[in-house]
Structure 1
Amino acid sequence: MSAFKSLVVLILFMWTLTTADDEVSCVLEESCILPCSFQPGPDPVIYWLKVEPGNPRVISYYGAREQFARQSERFRGRTSMFTDQISRGNASIRLTGLQLQDQGRYECYVTITGVNEESVINLRTDAPVRHVDIEQVEDSFTCRSEGIYPEPQLTWSTRPPSCVTFPSQTSVKETEQQLYEISSTLNLSVRDTVVICNLSTRSGWRSVLWYQPNFH
């Protein structure tokens, strides 16, 4: 019976350790704030690490100032803390010039008089659809966009809506920068129709309309 109780306690303890990460979504090449709060106290020691092989040091704070001596080169010159708010329990950091390689899990450790607090943040980076180009050559429409992350979805529609499925061909390419280019060609001979190219990712969507008039 004692062994059973010990097993129950162990399971409950493990459950408390596996709470869901906080998630932050930020835009590629822009600034991003990774949140971390703690119970305020004297002389806090703060460490931010990225959870990956080697656990590179993102930034540190102790001795009442930011410390950069052991900071990973990839984060050098791109991080800062809200030092005027640390006394109020704010250990958040600002990460600038966001890169695709920055996405992933981060751990914030705070130690005050031997008491440790830990927060885990999952950073997701996005390069949203910023523009969509569409052109027509006779009965063929081509819709294009680039510089997108993650991989986008492209659909065609018409206004008024049609129950007919029009043939289209779509290609997606990944660039050396790990961004996506997408192009789709639709064949449509129907006139007096608004042709709509819809592009979407997890961060949003964008549409462009093209009117094909009837010249008869």
Structure 2
Amino acid sequence: MRNVARTSLVDAAIDELRREIARGAWPVGTKIPSESQLAQSLGMSRLSVREAVRVLAHAGLLHTRQGDGTYVTATDESKVALRRRLDTAAAMDIIDVRRGLDLVAARLAAGRRSEEDVVALRETLARRDAAGQAGDLDGYADADVAFHVLVADAAHNALLADLYRSMSDALRDSVRDQEEAMLEPDTSHEELLRAIEDGDPARAVAVSVAILDAQEREL
């Protein structure tokens, strides 16, 4: 890292650490260097570094484990803020937002999907069905969310895919809250896959609406 001038040292340390995290110097889940190592590389006191780490931990980018060190938990503060907001969102609010994202994703996916997209969707749907038959709620929820994320990927719109991924944790929680749905026969996701595979945007949108209507009735 480049040396930092001794003015506004804490702010400078925050900016420098944020920059290193954003560029992937320390991937999510890895431990950052110790305070003394950071202080030496930045050319400032350990006190300034400690305060900078505290600020970034409060922002959700870092997490300090007592006696272990400090780990990167996220690379983008805006995504952290969105995740925190989603964590407190009402289930009905999430359904309302999905009515926007899911319908656009289904329509675009039906027109843009590749053969690789269809294969990935089919494999994930098979994993979802297998988890449901085994009574594995966590596996079912993971595969259900993965399926819808893959639909967004099949739309081949990077912004849409990023928005959907930012909601994945909230979506997983909402699926886990509907355990009885896992036990009921459900062909809607297979119908959505067929509509996408057939290149039928209108049918893909209609099936997506039906899926969300059914989930709303479960609330």
Q: What TM-score comes out, normalization by structure 2 length?
A: 0.25
Structure with larger Rg = 1
Q: Normalized per residue, which structure has more helix?
A: 2
Provide TM-score, normalisation by structure 1: 0.25
